[in-house]
């Protein structure tokens, strides 16, 4: 592409004075051999120079001649059509018909009131001005973005970078819409954007598309991708080893969007899921929450600084969500160093201050855990969110929480801190968190009771005890006679057991027979086969094979098993959008977007990047890039039933340096069908408006359903 530096802009002709063509002097109507000077001032006079036979030159000559010839009659006609708004009706001086849509508007919707005056009329005819709205009248409805008045609707800096013309003179600050668009006179050839208008700036000349047109770029036809996929790898390697998964045609993975003319990828379940779902199911779970491991719990307890129950952590590694939970738990700043550690030493000999710090930190963790137990899910997930952003919707919070079940939180408390409330109450009351055990395994209270009993034992031993025992011995000796006398009483009573009392013994046999039945049942108990047991119930990841939450070895995990897992997707989006620059956020993204991360999102979604702050999950979600050319697959697919994708696209055996697995589209792909048809029609493939805002309308300002008032 060769763009000539523009000369001075002539508002009368809405054209730029070009130094490389013959010019005609505006005063003498004679050829200007030297052309205009750098300032655009003609050396023959003040009127300036026009390109020979240019559109602006011819238009002005005709306008001036007609104006002078019919000035008298025109003034009379215009004056007769005057009204309160001005000396004449704007519709009487309309230069031509409008398009169907624009014809629904009043003149004042697009033109300023200055045009509805004698001065505006004279200025418009003589100098091409008079309408102070200019392009602003167009932009009231047509939204072309922040650089609507710049060439091609993009910033001059971006245009230079894209075209590679950093060394040329600066482009003009603004390009009025009327330079290319002429609304009045709709339907005539003059309003069409011809090649000559493109050549106002583009100076490179060539005979036809097949003779002289610059070659296509090295990546032409290969758009920036948001999905990482290699057609060559699948066609040459994967589908050869697994032919049952190979699509029969391109339509096995792609479909045509008839509205936009683009080729889109079928939903995941139809295009990729039959092969790659197992990759997601077999991926690792997310280690979401884990407390630090405390070593020396028994030593802390013996020193009177125990922390009570504490879980055994199988994996000694804090998660970023745990650190963020610390920060939102209003813990003292003195624990900042302990918050970074996954292992806490509570048995440092000779350092009771350090042991006390570990105890207080552990109890602060328990206090925060208690807060979660008595709170709700919204509050809990709110303590784990990134940044200062607070305007989360209910749908966002629901996705970020993963519907964490209260049953799991209760199970965590039962396993980790079974006596949580009692331990906190004792600690906050200044008592030992747990009663200290003696060497015999007794509690403090039991030890005190044992000491009191030992003191009483001393009363029975030693001095006075001997006297008591000796005196009592005599009393026992005297009582022997009483026992001998009683023997006669026992002999007499034996008769009571004989005779009629035998019936009592017979009746008791029934009771004995019942005991025999119990003995038989006991024998049966020994013969029961122990087939059922709850000692080996499914726990942890064995249970969560369909995904979701589980706790295992002191760690809370989340297992994704489906594509576009809402929990993972929500956290990736939240951290990229609202966690920029935050260390914890970077750690979470590194965990979720690693090559072997849970769900393996980054394996395919190259458009999601923490470094670039990009969240393009699908091609449709990608922001439209600046495009100077246009192509519709729909027009080509429907026009030739024999046309195949490989007629234009050829796969590579290995990816290019830019990451594409297709060779660029060649010009021959076009000329094989079009031939010379594209010789003199730039707009067949090129478009002036390259900004994403093309064809956007501010519909709120358009009264499409205009209703006429009934008189």
Tokens of 106: 């009043």
Residue 376, domain member (yes or no): yes
- The pLDDT, as a whole number, for residue 632 is 82
Given a contact cutoff of 8 angstroms between Cβ atoms, the answer to whether 87 and 78 are in contact is yes
As a whole number, mean pLDDT of residues 177-191 equals 66
Tokens of 401: 């929480």
Domain of residue 394: give its range. Answer: 286-439
Q: Indicate if the pLDDT at residue 150 is higher than 80.
A: yes
448-462 pLDDT, tens digit per residue, is 444 444 454 444 444
- The pLDDT, as a whole number, for residue 274 is 85
Phi then psi for residue 157, to 5 deg, are -65, -45
**How many domains, in total, are found in the chain?**
1
- The pLDDT, as a whole number, for residue 59 is 61
Residue 302, domain member (yes or no): yes
151-165 pLDDT, tens digit per residue, is 888 887 777 777 766
Q: Which of 126-140, 313-327, 458-472 has the highest mean pLDDT?
A: 313-327
Tokens of 577: 């959008």
Q: Indicate if the pLDDT at residue 30 is higher than 80.
A: no
Any residues with CB less than 8 A from the CB of 125 and at least 6 apart, and which?
63, 64, 67
Q: Tell me the pLDDT band of 569, cut-offs 50, 70 and 90.
A: very high
As a whole number, mean pLDDT of residues 52-62 equals 56
Q: Tell me the pLDDT band of 437, cut-offs 50, 70 and 90.
A: low
Any residues with CB less than 8 A from the CB of 33 and at least 6 apart, and which?
22
Phi then psi for residue 78, to 5 deg, are -65, -40
Best CA proximity match to 15, nearest among 63, 64, 61, 48 = 48
Phi then psi for residue 269, to 5 deg, are -60, -30
CA distance 299 to 513: 58
327-347 pLDDT, tens digit per residue, is 888 787 889 899 999 999 988
- The pLDDT, as a whole number, for residue 477 is 47
Residue 668, domain member (yes or no): no
Collapsing DSSP to helix, strand or coil, 211 comes out as strand
Residue 321, domain member (yes or no): yes
Tokens of 184: 């009045």
Q: Indicate if the pLDDT at residue 250 is higher than 50.
A: yes
Question: CA-CA-CA-CA torsion for 444, 449, 452, 458, nearest 10 degrees?
Answer: -110
As a whole number, mean pLDDT of residues 191-204 equals 69
Given a contact cutoff of 8 angstroms between Cβ atoms, the answer to whether 200 and 15 are in contact is yes
As a whole number, mean pLDDT of residues 536-544 equals 83
Given a contact cutoff of 8 angstroms between Cβ atoms, the answer to whether 47 and 27 are in contact is yes
Residue 459, domain member (yes or no): no
CA distance 307 to 157: 64
Q: Which of 86-100, 298-312, 523-537 has the highest mean pLDDT?
A: 298-312
Q: Is 406 exposed, middle or buried (0-12, 13-18, 19+ CB in 10 A)?
A: exposed
Collapsing DSSP to helix, strand or coil, 662 comes out as strand
Given a contact cutoff of 8 angstroms between Cβ atoms, the answer to whether 568 and 592 are in contact is yes
Name which residue leads in pLDDT, 90 or 61: 61
- Beta-sheet pairing, 343-345 with 293-295: parallel
219-235 pLDDT, tens digit per residue, is 888 877 888 888 888 88
Q: Indicate if the pLDDT at residue 5 is higher than 60.
A: no
- The pLDDT, as a whole number, for residue 244 is 87
- Token pair 């003199």 is at which residue? 680
């Amino acid at each position: 592409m060769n763009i000539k530096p523009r000369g001075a802009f002539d508002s009368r002709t809405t054209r730029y004075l070009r130094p490389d063509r013959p010019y005609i002097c505006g005063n003498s109507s004679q050829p200007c051999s030297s052309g205009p000077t750098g300032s655009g001032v003609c050396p023959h006079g003040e009127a300036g120079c026009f390109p020979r036979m240019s559109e602006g030159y011819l238009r002005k000559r005709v306008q001036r001649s007609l104006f002078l010839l019919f000035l008298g009659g025109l003034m009379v006609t215009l004056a007769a059509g005057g009204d309160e708004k001005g000396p004449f009706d704007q519709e009487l001086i309309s230069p031509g018909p409008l398009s169907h849509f624009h014809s629904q508007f009043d003149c004042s919707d697009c033109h300023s009131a200055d045009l509805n005056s004698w001065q505006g009329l004279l200025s418009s005819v003589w100098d091409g001005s008079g309408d102070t709205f200019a392009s602003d009248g167009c932009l009231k409805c047509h939204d072309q973005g922040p650089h609507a008045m710049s060439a091609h609707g993009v910033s001059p800096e971006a245009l230079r970078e894209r075209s590679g013309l950093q060394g040329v003179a600066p482009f003009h600050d603004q390009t009025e819409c009327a330079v290319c668009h002429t609304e009045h006179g709709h339907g005539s050839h003059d309003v069409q954007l011809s090649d000559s208008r493109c050549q106002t700036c583009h100076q490179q000349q060539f005979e036809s598309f097949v003779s002289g047109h610059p070659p296509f770029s090295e990546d032409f036809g290969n758009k920036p991708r948001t999905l990482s996929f290699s057609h060559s790898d699948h066609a040459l390697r994967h589908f050869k080893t697994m032919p049952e998964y190979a699509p029969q045609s391109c339509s096995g993975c792609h479909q045509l969007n008839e509205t936009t003319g683009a080729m889109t990828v079928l939903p995941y379940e139809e295009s990729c899921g039959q092969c790659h779902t197992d990759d997601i199911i077999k991926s690792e779970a997310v280690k979401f929450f884990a407390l630090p491991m405390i070593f020396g719990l028994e030593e802390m307890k013996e020193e009177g600084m125990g922390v009570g129950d504490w879980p055994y952590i199988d994996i000694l590694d804090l998660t970023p969500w745990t650190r963020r939970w610390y920060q939102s738990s209003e813990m003292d700043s003195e624990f900042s160093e302990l918050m970074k550690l996954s292992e806490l030493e509570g048995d440092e000999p000779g350092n009771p201050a350090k042991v006390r710090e570990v105890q207080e930190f552990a109890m602060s963790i328990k206090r925060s855990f208690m807060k979660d137990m008595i709170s709700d899910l919204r509050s809990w997930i709110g303590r784990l969110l990134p940044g200062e952003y607070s305007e989360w919707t209910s749908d966002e919070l629901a996705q970020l929480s993963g519907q964490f079940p209260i049953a799991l939180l209760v199970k965590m408390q039962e396993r980790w801190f079974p006596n949580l409330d009692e331990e906190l109450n004792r600690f906050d009351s200044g008592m030992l968190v747990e009663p200290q055990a003696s060497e015999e395994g007794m509690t403090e209270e039991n030890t005190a009771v044992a000491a009191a009993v030992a003191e009483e034992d001393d009363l029975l031993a030693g001095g006075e005890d001997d006297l008591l025992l000796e005196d009592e011995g005599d009393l026992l000796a005297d009582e022997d006679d009483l026992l001998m006398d009683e023997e006669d009483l026992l002999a007499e009573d034996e008769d009571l057991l004989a005779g009629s009392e035998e019936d009592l013994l017979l009746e008791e046999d029934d009771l004995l027979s019942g005991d025999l039945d119990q003995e038989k049942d006991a024998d049966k108990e020994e013969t029961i086969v122990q087939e059922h047991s709850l000692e080996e119930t499914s726990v942890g990841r064995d249970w969560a094979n369909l995904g979701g939450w589980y706790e295992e070895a002191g760690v809370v995990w989340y297992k994704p098993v489906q594509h576009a897992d809402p929990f993972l997707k929500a956290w990736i989006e939240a951290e990229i959008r609202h966690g920029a620059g935050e260390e914890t956020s970077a750690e979470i993204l590194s965990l979720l977007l690693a090559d072997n991360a849970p769900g393996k999102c980054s394996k395919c979604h190259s458009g999601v990047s923490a470094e670039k702050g990009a969240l393009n999950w699908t091609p449709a979600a990608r922001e439209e890039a600046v495009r100077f050319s246009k192509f519709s697959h729909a027009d080509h697919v429907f026009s030739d039933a024999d046309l195949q994708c490989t007629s234009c696209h050829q796969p590579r055996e290995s990816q290019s340096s830019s990451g594409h697995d297709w060779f660029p589209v060649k010009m021959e792909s076009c000329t094989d069908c079009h031939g010379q048809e594209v010789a003199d029609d730039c707009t067949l493939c090129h478009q002036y408006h390259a900004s994403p805002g093309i064809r956007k309308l501010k519909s709120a300002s358009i009264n499409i359903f205009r209703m006429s008032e009934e008189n």
